[in-house]
Amino acid sequence: MRTSYDQIEATFREEHGRVLAALISQLGGDFSLAEDALQDALVNALERWEVDGVPRKPGAWLHTVARRRAIDRLRRARPQDEAMDPETLAAPDEVEMDDSLPDERLKLMFTCCHPALALEAQVALTLHTVGGLSTPQVARAFLVPVPTMAQRLARARSKIRQAGIPYRVPPADLLPERLGALLAVIYLIFNEGYVATSDRAAGGAGGGDGLTRPELCGEAIRLGRVLVSLLPRPGSAEARGLLALMLLHDSRRETRLNGAGQLVLLDEQDRARWDQDKIREGTAVLDEALALHDPGPYQVQAAISALHAAAPAAADTDWPQIAALYDTLARMTPSMVVEVNRAVAVAMARGAPAGLSLLLRLSDQADGFYPYHAARADLLRRTGQREAAAEAYERALELCGNSAERAYLQRRRDEMLRYD
């Protein structure tokens, strides 16, 4: 019985990060040699596993074979050395299993997200090396041509080597800042996928044999789980907060679009179709984070999301608590988005006029920001000010480029104009 290609590929993706991370360590930080050696091992594995099936310890198998291929490559690079050791040519099924495959993925993740690398390179390198996505898969996920992505990855590896970016977990004095950068990369990957759900409505790219953009959410969550499992507990609160946030957001992904591909807002989503496993996991991870008494913005956002997830129906939502959390978030990370969301929460907790007066305070700085106009429009609609609401929806439409959100704004604006 032949093992399916899909099964083998899934195993590669699963094992790639851990095997590569260990190899790079063992090869003195040489990314290129490690990746080439692993590529050799993958080609080998594809031939053998289709016939023999996936081995019991695929990671150990790949690691042992890759290490041999690396030695092989090093020897070929120095032709003056004596003939190749027969050991390197041993058939893969004679290879002895190396049980002690260390988990060096923290080193790999921090190196990929070093500030000396361009942000888009950090993202690509993380997905490719830790996530095990192929170059075409990463290219498709970020809507760039494959050669462009290949060059981006090659340049990043070259920069690591030429500039002497160390392959390590940063020392204590650099760790908080570097961990923040790593979390930002993971969150960026998640948001690319999350936003892509809305793009699906406009027939956005996806499907086929590549990674669809919404699958980036799954990849980001996977990276988050790996990070949380490897980080020491002290200092891990925000990493746990981010994982919780992603899980809780993702639990609602299936209900964000209706059958016609239109955006469905939180209060109209079918809560029976929210993923309870993700909610349970997210809530548990958030509890672990909070137990560390080291608050931060990801934890606060996760707490807000958890309050939504805990409400069986929209009407049961604990809006006063959410409004209070937005107060905290506004103090930690003041921004237009946070202020607008806070105004909406306040409106839900204390009535639309309270929310509207908060929005009024933003009117100067927020004029170019469509969520501000969209929120204002919704609150004006709720207080029956149809004409003002229609104008605000119109202003939001002028500024909004997202197809699914535009459709929503158009629908509401037309509603407001209908009875005039």
Partner 1 sequence: MKYLLLMYANEAQSAAITQEEGQTIYQDWMDFMKQANEAGVLLANNGVAPSHSATTVRVRDGQTLTVDGPFAETHEQLAGYSVVECPNLDEAIRWATKVPMARYGSVEVRPLWSPQA
Question: Do residues 393 and 412 lie in contact, with contact meaning Cβ atoms separated by under 8 Å?
Answer: yes
28 lies in the site for partner 1, by CB under 8 A:
no
Q: Which is nearer to partner 1, 36 or 415 (CB)?
A: 36
Q: Which is nearer to partner 1, 70 or 349 (CB)?
A: 70
User: For 362-413, what is the HEC assignment?
Assistant: CCCCCCCCHHHHHHHHHHHHHCCCHHHHHHHHHHHHHHCCCHHHHHHHHHHH
166 lies in the site for partner 1, by CB under 8 A:
yes
Q: How far is the CB of 32 from partner 1 (least distance, A)?
A: 12
Q: How far is the CB of 230 from partner 1 (least distance, A)?
A: 20
Calculate Rg over the CA atoms of the chain: 25
Q: How far is the CB of 164 from partner 1 (least distance, A)?
A: 4
The stretch among 164-172, 238-246, 335-343, 395-403 that binds partner 1 (CB under 8 A) is 164-172
Where do the H-state alpha helices sit in 207-262?
A: 215-230, 237-250
331 lies in the site for partner 1, by CB under 8 A:
no
Q: How far is the CB of 157 from partner 1 (least distance, A)?
A: 12
Q: How far is the CB of 162 from partner 1 (least distance, A)?
A: 5
Q: What are the phi and psi torsion angles at 132 (to 5°)?
A: 75, 15
Burial class (CB in 10 A: 0-12, 13-18, 19+), 418: exposed
The stretch among 126-134, 142-150, 166-174, 314-322 that binds partner 1 (CB under 8 A) is 166-174
Question: Do residues 311 and 318 lie in contact, with contact meaning Cβ atoms separated by under 8 Å?
Answer: yes
**What secondary structure letter does DSSP report for 273?**
G
116 lies in the site for partner 1, by CB under 8 A:
yes
Q: Which is nearer to partner 1, 28 or 384 (CB)?
A: 28
Q: Which is nearer to partner 1, 43 or 174 (CB)?
A: 174
Cα distance between residue 368 and residue 147, in whole Å: 36
Contact set for partner 1, span 30-49 (CB under 8 A)? none
Question: Do residues 63 and 23 lie in contact, with contact meaning Cβ atoms separated by under 8 Å?
Answer: yes
Q: How far is the CB of 81 from partner 1 (least distance, A)?
A: 18
Q: Which is nearer to partner 1, 125 or 217 (CB)?
A: 125
Q: Which is nearer to partner 1, 30 or 250 (CB)?
A: 30
- Distance of alpha carbon 265 from the chain centroid: 22
The contacts found for 272-279 with CB under 8 angstroms, 24 or more apart, are 274/309, 275/250, 275/251, 276/251, 278/247, 278/248, 278/250, 278/251, 279/247, 279/248, 279/251, 279/306, 279/309
Q: Which is nearer to partner 1, 154 or 163 (CB)?
A: 163
Q: Which is nearer to partner 1, 13 or 155 (CB)?
A: 155
Q: Quick check: helix, strand or coil at residue 162?
A: helix
Q: How far is the CB of 233 from partner 1 (least distance, A)?
A: 25
Q: How far is the CB of 366 from partner 1 (least distance, A)?
A: 32
Question: Do residues 239 and 227 lie in contact, with contact meaning Cβ atoms separated by under 8 Å?
Answer: yes
Q: Which is nearer to partner 1, 141 or 182 (CB)?
A: 182
119 lies in the site for partner 1, by CB under 8 A:
no
Q: How far is the CB of 112 from partner 1 (least distance, A)?
A: 14
118 lies in the site for partner 1, by CB under 8 A:
no
The CA-CA-CA angle for residues 75, 30, 123, to 5°, reads 145
Cα distance between residue 50 and residue 185, in whole Å: 35
CA end-to-end span of the chain, whole Å?
A: 70
84 lies in the site for partner 1, by CB under 8 A:
no
Q: How far is the CB of 159 from partner 1 (least distance, A)?
A: 9
Cα distance between residue 117 and residue 113, in whole Å: 7
Contact set for partner 1, span 213-232 (CB under 8 A)? none
170 lies in the site for partner 1, by CB under 8 A:
yes
Contact set for partner 1, span 134-163 (CB under 8 A)? 161-163
Cα distance between residue 13 and residue 127, in whole Å: 10
Give the total of residues touching partner 1 (CB under 8 A).
11
Among positions 27, 165, 309, 392, the unique one binding partner 1 when judged by CB under 8 A: 165
174 lies in the site for partner 1, by CB under 8 A:
yes
Among positions 79, 86, 164, 208, the unique one binding partner 1 when judged by CB under 8 A: 164
Return residues touching partner 1 (CB under 8 A).
114, 116, 161-166, 170-171, 174
